[in-house]
Amino acid sequence: MFLLIQKWHKKFGVFAALFVICLVISGVAINHSEQLELNKKFIKTEWLLDFYQINPATEPIAFNANGSWATQVGERVYFDNIEISKDVEKLVGIISNNETYTIAYDGQLKIITKDGGIIEHLTGAAGVPAGMKEIGQDENDDIVIKAAHGYYHVNINDLEWKEYGYLEAVWSVESVIPTKLYDDLLQQYRGSGLTIEKLLMDIHSGRFAGTWGIYFVDLIAILMLILSCTGVWMWWHRK
């Protein structure tokens, strides 16, 4: 009996040791994730991104103003190829004025330079109306917004908002995004969708392989418990 248990103890021990090493390495790395900045480093490997299905849920939408683009890919908004915002529900449009650009989304306005530098970020606290549907410009290049409860006019310099029943404007309209920009943004979106920390946590918990992976890690844990018990039993038997 002792020899049989010893035989299987060695075989299971070698099998379990390989996975224990993986769990130890991933566990130590996760514990020091902040110091190693693993939550800020992203996986670029295409097959892993495909495995995790890192793709926008809907097709990108884009607006053009004076040769520059505001594009929503998934929940992110880009100015040309520079990411300027995350967790966006709906991009409304973009207008240009004197080498600056105003991008509208989710009850917010972002005024940026041609290089993508943020000049100002305006929200409802600054008077931006809720329920924005369109953004455009009047003949004086002032901002006009069509919102849920009417039309609004604002001079961006003094931020004085005025409400009207109706206003004429040159509205920002959705445009067909250039193929090269589309490909660049899609690659950028995918390349910032999976952190090393997320991958290590999934490997450590077994979630990398789905539900069966979790069960497999549970099996390894049970196996380690059995090995511990049989190891103590053999030590006691020899003693």
Which residue segments constitute the domains of the chain, with CATH numbers given? 61-191 (2.130.10.10)
The rounded distance, in Å, linking the Cα atoms of 132 and 139 is 21
Residue 37 pLDDT exceeds 90: no
pTM above 0.75, yes or no: no
Give me the mean pLDDT over the 188-201 stretch: 83
Range in 6-10, 54-58, 179-183, 185-189 the model is least confident about: 6-10
Encoded amino acid at 4, one letter: L
**Per-residue model confidence (pLDDT) at position 141:** 84
**Per-residue model confidence (pLDDT) at position 99:** 83
Better-scored residue on pLDDT, 73 or 49? 73
**Per-residue model confidence (pLDDT) at position 178:** 92
Residue 61, CB-side half-sphere exposure with 13 Å CA sphere: 15
The rounded distance, in Å, linking the Cα atoms of 196 and 201 is 9
Encoded amino acid at 120, one letter: E
Residue 118 pLDDT exceeds 70: yes
Q: Which residues contact 202 (CB under 8 A, 6 or more apart)?
A: 208
**Alpha-carbon 77 to chain mean position:** 11
Q: Output phi, psi for 225, to 5 deg.
A: -65, -45
The rounded distance, in Å, linking the Cα atoms of 64 and 88 is 18
Q: Tell me the average pLDDT of the chain.
A: 82
**Alpha-carbon 112 to chain mean position:** 22
DSSP for 109-132 reads: EEEEETTS-EEEEE-GGGTPPSS-
The rounded distance, in Å, linking the Cα atoms of 23 and 172 is 53
The rounded distance, in Å, linking the Cα atoms of 139 and 49 is 47
Q: Which residues contact 211 (CB under 8 A, 6 or more apart)?
A: none
Residue 141 three-state SS: coil
Residue 68, CB-side half-sphere exposure with 13 Å CA sphere: 22
